[in-house]
Amino acid sequence: MGVEFYEGRLNVGEAVSPPVTKALRKLVRKSDVTIIDAPPGTSCPVIEAISGTDFVILVTEPTQFGLNDLKLAVGMVREIGLPHGVVINCSDIGDSRTEEYCHKEGIDILMEIPYDRRVAEAYSRGDMMFAVDSRYETSLCKLYQHIATRVHNDGTGRSQR
């Protein structure tokens, strides 16, 4: 689909992923839009993955555990000084505390993705979510445009309020 994809893999038993991320970054052209997928949490591999980025998308679910992890991640990106926003996955489960937290903290909710078993099944097969429903393609394009505009407008990705 016109997207260059790089993957780094650890061997079984290897616990240190930051060198893999560093090696992958060397392969990417500086003019490219680069998306680095990081593990959940606030560990060293996450710090390595987000360091020097223009924008961080924090993905969460509207549950007590998701909110707890989101608060830790927000603290991390704020400490580093990175612009960020939130995508709420399975947005129609759980409760409204995640949205309330984001609004109270001035964090943009970039996208809400409702639970859809068809998407989960497609993802488990390696298919994209928009293969199930073309509306996801439109939503993801809008998400990209929103972030690109924020990054372009002030060079930091911070929302212009």
Residue 138 binned pLDDT confidence (cut-offs 50, 70, 90)? very high
Residue 148 pLDDT more than 50?
A: yes
137 vs 98, residue with greater confidence? 98
**pLDDT one-digit tens code per residue, 58-67:** 999 999 999 9
- Mean pLDDT, residues 10-19 taken together: 79
**pLDDT one-digit tens code per residue, 31-49:** 667 788 888 889 888 998 8
Domain definitions of the chain by residue range: 18-115
Residue among 65, 100, 71, 67 nearest 84 (CA): 71
Greatest CA span in the chain, whole angstroms?
47
Residue 113 binned pLDDT confidence (cut-offs 50, 70, 90)? very high
Spatial neighbors of 92 by CB under 8 A, at least 6 apart, are 114, 115
pLDDT of residue 117: 92
Q: Which fold has domain 18-115?
A: Rossmann fold (3.40.50)
The answer to whether 129 and 146 have CB atoms below 8 angstroms apart is: no
Handedness of CA 77, 78, 82, 88 (dihedral sign): positive
Residue 100 binned pLDDT confidence (cut-offs 50, 70, 90)? very high
> Among 27-31, 76-80, 87-91, 112-116, whose mean pLDDT is lowest?
27-31
Residue 3 pLDDT more than 80?
A: no
H/E stretch holding 150 reads helix 135-154
The answer to whether 160 and 154 have CB atoms below 8 angstroms apart is: yes
Query: Concatenated DSSP letters for 35-90?
Result: -----SSSSHHHHHHHTT-S-EEEEE-SSHHHHHHHHHHHHHHHHHT--EEEEEET
